[in-house]
Structure 1
């Protein structure tokens, strides 16, 4: 019985962690009422860095000493996944509905597969391409609210390019992260990435931030920033990687798809946003495409592990 309980509890933990990620869309929507997007991102990761460094020092006492090349990779992680992604993310939080943003970003795993094939020479199968196509079709339905011909008539809205920038920057961050994780643990990689990302965001925050904004920010805004630092960035991150240790990265990655669903539900409940039929259909295509594109990869990883076990024997 004990063996059966552990996976169930781990799956619950993973579902909670990725659901918390979905709350970032709601918290971000609240925070950008008082602060500009880059400033929100700066406060979020400044708080996260203050928490992550002590955690790293305690949990990773024997961590490798970074080389100049490693510091360069950490800086790129901070630039793509922390600075650029979050500026785009919070711009979208300010100017786009949460439902649209969260479902658009749900196509991320498929793009990660594509970039992994291009830069890391991982195998891209026909089902990867099909999965990507299905997910992108879902994105098209979402951004046009079901009126696909609008893409031809009007093209993308400016905010859609911002969302696309968020998707691309996070995919680059994920691919670079795979390289860094070959030498460093997830906690060390994320801590240094957050450090560099916070540094990159600092000039924007200094330019945007005024004392009037600080004084005028409500308790709800500060609570949203604290929530994103503590729960979204630190606690859920630790929960997610504990889940990876217990069930493996392949199974854990499936739970990332809980994030947009969580965001959509919370946006409907707390922000009064309307969930249309087009959103539902688009979401179904996006999540189906992600499943098609990533499931094969997980299966291949399992086969590779079995091959290695046979070779060891």
Structure 2
């Protein structure tokens, strides 16, 4: 691969993961007109309408799912699409974007732990060090720098919502690794989004009235459309193209741009204040995530070169 193409792939990965950060801002706007499950439902309804034609165009020989496969797709939809996004948009409504984005940035660390427990993947020394850094950073963000709160357990209710979001996404990622052994990323995501949209429908019907629809703002629909098209579909295509070209380990490092872009946009568009505890916590979270993934990515790159030589 020539240098020009490599930098183009890096640019695509940067744009994809930075666009994910805009979901925090769009969610903050959409949640002013609708409740959490309704925003999530409309977001993924739009995404699934785009994903199915894309899947049929890209995939020629899709394996026929078994009952066990359908169960796994349903679990993906329940954890990563339904409950994660309900928690995500509740956080968008009740927590500052800066806090939510930095908190959710710790996801890769929990994924490493669950992968070791359920998939029997080996945890490396750098991942243990990264875990300690990231957990300290998240603790600093939750407590706003006052770690003594842990002694009295005086957490805010929204912190439990954010913990739920992190757990749901980690479960989605681990289950997804099992599904990806048989299906491509676009097939897995399309079926997961389809199931997730169906699971979100009852919640959306329960909490949404006709007046909510008629009184909703144009900004809310633009924000939902942005999350459907750019955050869910286009960024997904760019990110998985990057994985295809340079491998999942190296591509995952770019996820660190997600909280950074969210923090910058929250500061610019929503006038949210970036505090010293936020900066300290962000440093530890991003350092921990990078330590957990970078060395693995370097080794993967080295192995890829050896395989090409052979």
Q: Same fold (TM over 0.5)?
A: yes
Q: Secondary structure at the match of 1:61?
A: coil
Q: Secondary structure at the match of 2:76?
A: helix
The residue aligned with 1:137 is 136
The residue aligned with 1:81 is 80
Tell me if the contact between 2:140 and 2:281 (Cα under 8 Å) persists in the aligned partners.
yes
Name structure 2 gaps, 5 residues minimum: none
The residue aligned with 2:183 is 184
Query: Given the two structures, how large is their TM-score scaled by the length of structure 2?
Result: 0.96
Q: Distance in 2 between matches of 1:297 and 1:76?
A: 28
The residue aligned with 1:215 is 214
Residues 1:16 and 2:34 aligned together: no
Tell me if the contact between 1:18 and 1:256 (Cα under 8 Å) persists in the aligned partners.
yes
Q: Distance in 1 between matches of 2:127 and 2:55?
A: 36
The residue aligned with 2:264 is 265
1:86-138 alpha-carbon deviations (Å, 9 max, x no partner): 01100100000000000000000111111111111110123222211110100
Q: Distance in 2 between matches of 1:88 and 1:57?
A: 31
The residue aligned with 2:43 is 44
1:226-255 alpha-carbon deviations (Å, 9 max, x no partner): 000000000000011111112111111100
Tell me if the contact between 1:110 and 1:294 (Cα under 8 Å) persists in the aligned partners.
no
The residue aligned with 1:205 is 204
- Tell me how many residue pairs correspond in the alignment: 310
Tell me if the contact between 1:113 and 1:294 (Cα under 8 Å) persists in the aligned partners.
no
Deviation of 1:306 after TM superposition, in Å, equals: 6.8
Q: Distance in 1 between matches of 2:160 and 2:113?
A: 19
Tell me if the contact between 2:250 and 2:294 (Cα under 8 Å) persists in the aligned partners.
no
- RMSD of Structure 2 on Structure 1 (CA): 1.6
Query: Given the two structures, how large is their TM-score scaled by the length of structure 1?
Result: 0.95
Deviation of 1:298 after TM superposition, in Å, equals: 2.4
The residue aligned with 1:127 is 126
Q: Secondary structure at the match of 2:2?
A: helix
The residue aligned with 2:92 is 93
Deviation of 1:155 after TM superposition, in Å, equals: 2.5
Q: Distance in 2 between matches of 1:77 and 1:264?
A: 28
- Spell out the pairing of 1:100-115 with structure 2 (5 A cutoff): 100-115=99-114
Deviation of 1:24 after TM superposition, in Å, equals: 0.2
Q: Secondary structure at the match of 1:156?
A: coil
- Spell out the pairing of 1:152-301 with structure 2 (5 A cutoff): 152-301=151-300
Q: Distance in 2 between matches of 1:118 and 1:270?
A: 41
Instruction: Give structure 1 regions of 4+ aligned residues with deviation exceeding 6 angstroms.
Output: 306-310
1:2-39 alpha-carbon deviations (Å, 9 max, x no partner): 81100101101100000100000000001110111011
Deviation of 1:148 after TM superposition, in Å, equals: 1.3
Q: Distance in 1 between matches of 2:124 and 2:201?
A: 41
Q: Distance in 1 between matches of 2:2 and 2:196?
A: 40
Q: Secondary structure at the match of 1:230?
A: helix
Q: Distance in 2 between matches of 1:44 and 1:58?
A: 22
